Every structure is written in C-alpha cells, then in structure tokens.
Amino acid sequence: MTRFGDFPKNIVNLPGQGQLPKIPLAGVRAVLLVLVVLVLLFGSLYQVEPEEVGVVLRFGKYARTTEPGLHFKIPLGIEMVEKVPVQRQLKQEFGFRTERPGVRSEFTRSGLQGESLMLTGDLNTAVVEWVVQYRVADPQEFLFKVRHVEETLSDMSEAVMRQIVGDRTVDEVLTVGRQEVADLVEVKLQELCEQYETGIQIEQVVLQNVNPPDPVRPSFNEVNQAEQEKETKINQAQSAYNKVIFRAKGEAQQTISNAEGYALDRVNRAKGQAARFESVFREYRKAPQVTRRRIYLETMNEVLPKMGTKLVLDETLEGVLPLLDLKGVGAGVLSTPAKPGGEQ
C-alpha cells in the first residue's frame, strides 16, 4: 500500500496547479440578478380560480379584492393573498359525517351523539341530524370580523337547533313539524350571522334524519302504530257517517223538493181554475143563456162518450116498451124515454 509520503518525488508541478479556476465577477452578478428576477416574478404572480376571489393583504391589512384570473402582487411578503370560495356552496354536517360521497355515500356517526341528541319541549329526547348549506357572501367580513368563523357557525347552528327543538313536542319534531323547524333554524341562524358580521349567507337547513333514541325506538314505533290504527278507525267511521248522513240529507232534500213542487203545482192549478172560472163568470154575466147552453154542451160532450150505448126516445111516442140490450153493449141498462128539453 502506498502511503501519502511515498508518492514519486519526480512529479513535476504543472503551471497553476493547486489553484481554483477564476470565475468572472460579471457572470456571477448576472446569474444572481436572473435568480432575483425569477424569484420576484414568481412571487408576484398568483392565480384566482373561477369560483374564488382573492383578498390581498398588505402587511396583514386588507388592501383590495381581486376577481378570478391572473394578478400581480408585491412580493417578499409585503402583500399576501387569501383565496375565498364565494361561488362554492359549503356545508356543515351535524350528528353524522360523510366519509365517502357518491351515488352510495358512506356516513359515520361514531362519537357524534353529543351533537344530535336533544331534549324536546315535552321532556322527551330525539336524535336530530341536519345539514347547514351556506356560502361566503362577504369575503372581507369572513376573514377579519370573526376568529375561527367556521367553528363559530357550527356552535351557532347547534345552539339554534336546540332552542327550536326545545320549544316543540317530540311528535312535532319527528313528524309534522320537521319543515317548520328547518325553516325557523334557517331564519334565526341567518340573523345571528348578520349580527356577528360573519359574511356568511345561509342557503338552506335540511333535517337529514330525525328519530327517537335507539333504546326507546321499539316502544316509540308501537305508539306510532297505535296512533295510525286509531286514525284509520276514525277515518273509516267518518266515511260511514258521511255515507249515511249525506244520503239521508239528500233523500230529505228530495222529499222537500217534491213537496214544494207539488204545492206549487196545486197552487198554480187552483189559480188557473179560479182565473178560468172568473173569465167564464164574466162571460156568463154578459149572456147567461148562451153561456149556460155552452157549458151544458161542453159537459155533455165530455160525459156522454163515457156512458156507452144510449137510446133516446121521443116522449110523445106511444106503445113502445123499454128495450133491453142483449148484445152486451150497455148490458143491464134500460133506456128510458127522454125528458122534455132533450135531457135523458
């Protein structure tokens, strides 16, 4: 093995051997200048996405708001940019969390019972799961007015929901009052957001799932089934009642209408007969003999066709016996001599 001191001594040192190559100072300055320009250029450019706005801070103080696109800012930490998604709908979930969204989303409720378990106005408990959908309406207020604004919104949502649920019975929360609860929570939560100047606009509050707690769910289902059977029986009884009562009312109304029609017919007919009698009487007073004869002829014209076969004899005729009709026409009726004046 050759040691350091055993190198051949006849090696001749080349000119300039052992000295570093000299680099031109102008080249170093040019490289440094290019690096500085690149750093300043890339540090001053920033891109704002279509659904965002850029809030520019100068020494930590609000300076301006920039729209989507490519923009410049003062580099070296003088100006900073906070990007706020103003066009995106954000949401907060309570009582559950979405682990994998999609057509068949996966949810978890582990460790979140404290958010969803609530006391109702009738001292019952209910498990209420809901979603608050919102967007950022004022980026400046969203960034600077409230510290930890999303945590504040979560606390406000839970407080308002507990207040609204606590003013209603468990039946209202579970059944008919769900939409009313969601609407009231949306209104009151928006009022708090405006009062605290969070810059948030509440879009919608959705009650995702409302159920009784698991230990009492079987008993609650039995109560609901009994209530449904009760409503079914009431509806059936009401249907039978309506069928009988309305039919009876209809028949009574029909009888009344028939009686009124009969009464109207009788009255009108009596009035007509009275008017006819008065008109005949007026004519009779003008010519009694003519009227009497006309009445007599009209009566005979109406009565005689109903009497069958008749024999009329002259009262002056002698030697004629009463005849008996043996042909069955007018059988049992004996014709008698006519009385004076042509009357039988």
Split at pLDDT 50, 70, 90, the class of 144 is: very high
How confident is the model over 13-32, as a mean pLDDT? 62
Question: Lowest-confidence range among 4-13, 67-76, 211-220, 226-235?
Answer: 4-13
20-29, 174-183, 189-198, 234-243, range with the lowest pLDDT: 20-29
Of residues 35 and 249, which shows the higher confidence score? 249
Who has greater pLDDT, 9 or 236? Answer: 236
Quote the CA–CA distance of 50 and 122 in Å, as a whole number: 49
Write the CA distances from 324 to 307, 310, 313, 320, integer angstroms: 16, 11, 14, 12
315 has pLDDT over 80: no
Residue 260: the pLDDT is 92
- Say if residue 282's pLDDT is above 90: no
Q: What is the pLDDT of residue 51?
A: 92
- Please provide the average confidence, as pLDDT, over all residues in the chain: 83
pLDDT at 320: 61
pLDDT class for 44, splitting at 50, 70, 90? confident
- Top-ranked range on mean pLDDT: pick from 42-56, 275-289, 308-322, 323-337: 42-56
